[in-house]
A and B are shown apart, each in its own frame.
Chain A
Amino acid sequence: MTDLAVGAVAGTLAPRRRFVLLRRLAAHRSFQIGLVLVLLLALAAIFAPFLTSVDPSAMKVRFRFRPPSAAFPFGTDNFGRDIFTRVLYGARVSLWIGLVVAISTGVIGAAIGVVAAQFPRLDPYLMRCMDALMSFPAILLALGVTAALGPRMESVIIALAVAYVPAGARIVRASALVVRELDYIAAARIAGASNFRIMIRHILPNSVSPLLVHVTFVFAYAILAEAALSFLGVGVPPPTASWGNIIAEGRDYATEAWWVMLFPGLGITLSALGLNLLGDGLRDVLDPRLNWRG
């Protein structure tokens, strides 16, 4: 996702600047480490069926609560299911949810932000709605929405998108408001460009950098939030493995079989770590002014 997105930003810039940006990214140490981590985890998720020959839901009660060994690298749970396999398949669910939430947050946030900046009469209505959504703590809002929609993967995605869109919209609006005042927008308008064309061709591409940084962090938050929701029993329902619900199931016998909940937690930590590092790198290179955003 990141490669593609970097390309999308760079595509709007002159060739030489694009080259400089990519080289600066490639030389950025957090970006390198983050990229390697995220790529490894993504590859493990994509090629899960080739990395393990076991079915993630296959129960072998004979082998229940086996500690990590050569046969079961991450051990087995109370049903004798192979935790290594479940963590691999859980990566598919957790990373997929994070990716879809990140992309939809970016697209919807960009749309709302650009429209708010371009149409001053709509601006107060849109932004007060965003303020209202941001008044709820993100997890609580997501909890309410998943509760209303029922425990399904789609509900989790919608709930997290609702929770993270407002910040994205605010970021795009802020940079679009700056871009809107620049001379070349006036030039485009004099040349007869429509509102729509100005938004899509001129304002949006120049507001993308801060949004891209935000979206990378949203990817990490979404993975953490999905795990929390599934842990609370309102996220991805079992038997489908997600990192959150493996921990929830493993928690009841954590004293006897610590390995069940240890490994999915490491998966969450490493992917959030990788994405945060990527986000730090993108922020330093694309948007030095945004440094304070934590």
Chain B
Amino acid sequence: MSRLITVRILQAVPVILIVSVLAFLLITLLPGDPAVVIAGDQASPAAIAAVRHNLGLDKPLIEQLGIWFVHLLQGNFGSSLMLNQSVLSAMGERLPVTLSLAALSILVTLPVGIFAGVIAAYYRQTWVDSLVMTLALIGVSAPAFWIAILSILFFGVYLRWLPTSGYTPFFPNPVLWLRSLVLPALMLSLFQIGFLARMTRSAMLEALGQDFVRTARAKGLSEWKAVGKHAFRNALILIVTAIGILLSTAIGGSVVLEQVFALPGVGRLVVQGILARDYPLVQGVMLIYGFAFVVINLAVDLLYTVLDPRVRYD
């Protein structure tokens, strides 16, 4: 076990290095002269030269990569051109919004998605299964931003129950904070619930078909114990692996939904950065998210090995 854990942690080191190089390449691979692209077509030669010098683009590529790594080791993830601010502080200001959105959405997704999947598997091939799976299928097929606009029209404009857009921080007013995030979080959950329900159903079907569940029933355990304790706990192992994917799609989905609901989060920052050609900002945010998910995926992997004693490969 400890050997397996060591191997997994050691594997994450090269992944972090490659993530850094990929983020570095994002600017250096810009077609044409990156300095011209960043400064804009109308910029004077002097302005272009200044951008080139500021970003260190006038140095050889290998030297640039070296400087990039030195900066990363110093905790310097670059600076935004449009905000005159370091990427870390720009992201730090907006991260609470994105994290509240992702956390609320996962809080809704986990119980609903798992319950739906278990119910569908238990009542397989009945109308309950068909209904739940049709809804789950629509959840993974409908574009979230489109449903989100429709929901704004219905709940915000027509019924006037919820604000149509904008964000209120938690501290002055938790109620308004929740109201500003209810709709975005629910919209973010639609895909996630569908995904988790489909996955849970398959995992449960597999577990329910196992001999040990038949044995549990045969030795007279109650249906609740046979399904809840024996089958579900085995399905749970596969559900845990879904959490990494859910977090990743939640962050990806927040990019689009923050735009729809005008929430001042990291996703909106990235989109603004791209439209303003603020490549160092985009690079920095991708790098930080990349690092975060290397760690999250590692944690999920380790959790998986702890939960399933049968995993013994290395």
Contacts of B270 in A (CB 8 A): 140, 143
Instruction: Say whether B157 contacts A144, CB under 8 Å.
Output: no
Report if A277-B137 is in contact (Cβ < 8 Å); known contacts: A129-B18, A132-B19: yes
Contacts of B141 in A (CB 8 A): 220, 224, 269, 272-273, 276
A133 contacts the other chain (CB 8 A): yes
Instruction: Say whether A141 contacts B18, CB under 8 Å.
Output: no
CA distance A135 to B296 in the complex (A): 9
Contacts of B289 in A (CB 8 A): 136-137, 140
Contacts of A227 in B (CB 8 A): 143, 145-146
CA distance A131 to B22 in the complex (A): 12
Contacts of A277 in B (CB 8 A): 137
Partner of B22, one of A133, A247, A254, A262: A133
Kindly provide the distance from the CB of B294 to the nearest chain A CB, expressed in whole angstroms. 5
- Look across to chain B and name the residue whose beta carbon is closest to the beta carbon of A271: B141
Instruction: Say whether B145 contacts A294, CB under 8 Å.
Output: no
Contacts of A14 in B (CB 8 A): none
Q: Mark B232-252, 1 if CB is under 8 A from A, else 0.
A: 000000100010000011011
CA distance A292 to B121 in the complex (A): 12
Instruction: Say whether A148 contacts B26, CB under 8 Å.
Output: yes
Number of A residues contacting the other chain (C-beta, 8 Å)? 47
Q: Which of B198, B205, B270, B274 has the most CB of A within 10 A?
A: B274
Q: Which of A52-60, A85-93, A230-238 contacts B (4 or more CB under 8 A)?
A: A230-238
Contacts of B199 in A (CB 8 A): 292-294
Partner of A269, one of B15, B143, B203, B294: B143
Kindly provide the distance from the CB of A87 to the nearest chain B CB, expressed in whole angstroms. 13
B31 contacts the other chain (CB 8 A): yes
Report if A292-B203 is in contact (Cβ < 8 Å); known contacts: A147-B274, A231-B256, A261-B146: yes
CA distance A137 to B254 in the complex (A): 11
Partner of B275, one of A233, A251, A262: A233
Instruction: Say whether B145 contacts A231, CB under 8 Å.
Output: yes
Q: Mark A219-254, 1 if CB is under 8 A from B, else 0.
A: 010001001100111100000000000010001001
- Which residues of chain B in 14-44 are interfacial with respect to chain A, using CB atoms and an 8 Å cutoff? 14-15, 18-19, 22, 26-27, 29-31
Contacts of A68 in B (CB 8 A): none
Can you list 12 contacts pairing A with B, beta carbon distance less than 8 Å?
A131-B11, A135-B19, A135-B290, A136-B19, A140-B270, A140-B289, A220-B140, A227-B145, A269-B142, A291-B206, A293-B202, A294-B198
Interface residues of A (CB under 8 A from B): 124, 128-129, 131-141, 143-145, 147-150, 220, 224, 227-228, 231-234, 247, 251, 254-255, 258, 261-262, 265, 268-269, 272-273, 276-277, 291-294
Interface residues of B (CB under 8 A from A): 11, 14-15, 18-19, 22, 26-27, 29-31, 137-138, 140-143, 145-147, 149-150, 152-153, 157, 195-196, 198-199, 202-203, 205-206, 238, 242, 248-249, 251-253, 255-256, 259, 270-271, 274-275, 279, 282-283, 285-286, 289-291, 293-294, 297
List the 4 closest pairs (A to B, CB-CB), nearest first: A294-B199, A137-B252, A132-B18, A139-B252
